[in-house]
Amino acid sequence: MFKKIIVFTSCFLFFACAEDNGKITYVEDLTTLKNTSSGRVIGFKHINNSTAWFGIPYAKPPINELRWRAPQPIENSEEIIKAISFSDICFQNRSFVDYSEEKENYIGSEDCLYLNIHSPRNLSGNENLPVMVWIHGGGNTTGAGSGYDFSRLASEQKVIVITINYRLGPFGWFYHPSLIETSNSEEDKSGNYGLLDQILALKWVKKNIKEFGGNPNNVTIFGESAGGHNVFSLISSNLASGLFHRAISQSGSTRTTSIEDASNYVDDEINPGWPTSSKEIVNNILIGYNGAKDIYEAKILQDSMNNSNLKNFLQSLSSSEIFDTYEEKIVAGMFNVPRIIADGYVLPKEGMKFRRGQYNKVPTMLGTNRDEMKLFFALDEEFVTSFANFIIFVKDKEKYEIENEYASNNWKISGVDQPARKLTKSGNPDVFAYRFDWDEEPTYLWMDFSKIFGAAHGFEIPFVSGSLEFFGFERFIINDKSRPAARELSNSMMSYWAEFAYSGNPSSGRKKDLEKWQPWQNGPGKDKFIVLDSTNDKGIYMSNSELFFGDELQRLAEDNRIGDIKIKCEYINNLKESGNKSNFTLEECKKL
């Protein structure tokens, strides 16, 4: 039982628990045959009165000479593509979500640029339905589009939902001189290959979705966690202009990585790079595969190599040989590599500032969950006592709640309040914010999951999709008592999301029977965000509160619940590192 609990937790951290690792095959239905730029595709009748097409290629396999290059459109296939099973997921670390018997450290393939389509069944052929393109999360180092079932959202709300794969980790984001200086393409030189994959997928949607009953002039991009981060990136990229018309960021971020951080050596005297910068990784590769004895020799060798030869050498390595060089801490498959690179072409050099006239101005929804960080704390031995990876109980309940409060508020400031203020100030009147508060998990034995998880990171996804499925572990999350209200909340959230896709304003939902969702308004006392909770608790209501980094720092300084000054200073540093430019520091912290 307990193993299932921890696996469930890791599924959400990974955000891509595909059915049987994506290998289920369905029976094709001849009535689903469609003509696309990839070739003729045939799908199948799926669950919840939906139709689906899984594993449609939208780009050439990014392998061999196309590794670390901008994705190329797929050539039209003369054979019918049987889109009845998921493609391979993109190459990534193995984690709890893989249930195969294989023992390798890695799963997936570099040949992974495919998409999946969910549609209402029995369309007449004359529909012009809104299109929603889901961008999965997983730290941009793990995950897959096949991990999400949007059949209910598609069929009940009459929308077309597409999920996509994009390159991950060092295959998705890698900025190195040997790659930059051996191409004349600005896209190739950007290092943002995973983001370019998403842009090409949107181009495929624009070109082909009418064949499936979708409106190419009404496309909503939506994603969670790293997917929400990517949504903000697409809003900021000129290359994505005109490819989408609404945007939803769920628990996203607006951080970017500089070219210097992504590529320079860590000992660069002027602009030191990350420990996992491209040059440092190439050093590791040269030590492992090219005879350099140590970092010193590897650096000399790398600096002396011809760019073309080095590029060819890197492209000749196997996927696992590249991943083997990363020694960063891995959490549920995720690890820290430079990504979302502010290269000056795909993304502005100054990052995501949302200045007037300098981003894709579309109606935008953004939100976080009240207890974002509890999911991560529940996996951390600092916070929980565990045996054989089984969560047993929280060590210090007060510390658990305090750290979650500040860290989750910090996430809300970075992912909602601050970008909402910027977007509104830039002249976008259609900014809608939310906070997901549902926390009605049951108590099982001595474990109160409403306290362990609460409204944790990723828990809103089954409500948005309508599945209310937590990868087979529903009884630990939703019980008979909470299920009716959870279903009611899910129906409301699907209605809001769909109405936003239809009109650019969630308003009162598709049936006009919900609490009216007001846009974010700058200024004290004005409407800010809607709270999404079940009728068993406080229900759905608007709030006029907002958070600022400076206020959080001051509140933290005055918080008498935290007696240890070292812990308080650590909290302050965490807040400042998240993007706050305040010089505020406790005098006691300066002495440590």
| Domain membership flag for residue 328 | no
Q: DSSP letters of 222-248?
A: EEETHHHHHHHHHHH-GGGTTS-SEEE
Token pair listed for 362: 């579309």
523 shares a domain with 385: yes
What is the three-class DSSP state of 56?
strand
Cα gap 423→32, rounded to integer Å: 41
Tell me whether residue 127 is in a domain. Answer: yes
Catalytic residue positions, numbered:
225, 372, 457
In a domain, 269, yes or no: yes
The DSSP secondary structure of 566-582, one letter per residue, reads: HHHHHHHHHHHHTT---
> How high is the pLDDT of residue 256?
96
Q: Say if 331 falls within a structural domain.
A: no
> Do 358 and 213 sit in the same domain of this protein?
yes
Same domain, 496 and 512: yes
| Structural domain harbouring 569 | 549-591
With residue 208 as reference, give the H or E element that holds it: helix 193-208
Per-run averaged pLDDT (10 residues), the chain, 592 residues: 37 38 76 97 97 98 98 94 96 69 81 98 90 97 96 98 98 97 96 98 98 98 98 98 98 96 96 96 89 92 95 96 87 87 97 95 98 92 80 90 94 96 97 98 90 96 95 84 96 98 98 98 96 97 94 87 82 65 66 60
Compute the distance between CA of residue 458 and CA of residue 460 in angstroms, rounded to an integer: 5
pLDDT of residue 464: 98
User: CA separation (Å) from 367 to 231, 283, 401, 530?
Assistant: 12, 40, 21, 9
433 in the same domain as 353: no
C-alpha span between 241 and 225 (Å, rounded): 22
What's the structural domain count of the chain?
4
Question: Both 253 and 291 in a single domain?
Answer: no
In a shared domain, residues 84 and 161: yes
User: In terms of domains, do 312 and 200 share one?
Assistant: no
Is residue 356, in this structure, part of any structural domain at all?
A: yes
Residues 178 and 265 in one domain: no
**For 412, what's the count of Cα atoms within 13 Å in the CB-facing half-sphere?**
26
Residues 500 and 403 occupy one common structural domain: yes
- DSSP character string of 328-371: S--BTTB-----SEE-SSSS-TT-S---TTSS----EEEEEETB
239 and 292 fall within a common domain: no
Same domain, 382 and 470: yes
Residue 521 lies in a domain: yes
Interstrand relation of 443-444 and 384-387 (parallel, antiparallel or unpaired): unpaired
Do 222 and 296 have their domain in common? no
Q: Which region holds residue 525: left if phi is over 0, alpha if psi is between -120 and 50, else beta?
A: left
- Confirm whether 393 is domain-assigned: yes
Q: Does a structural domain hold residue 329?
A: no
CATH of the domain at 215: 3.40.50.1820
pLDDT at 9: 40
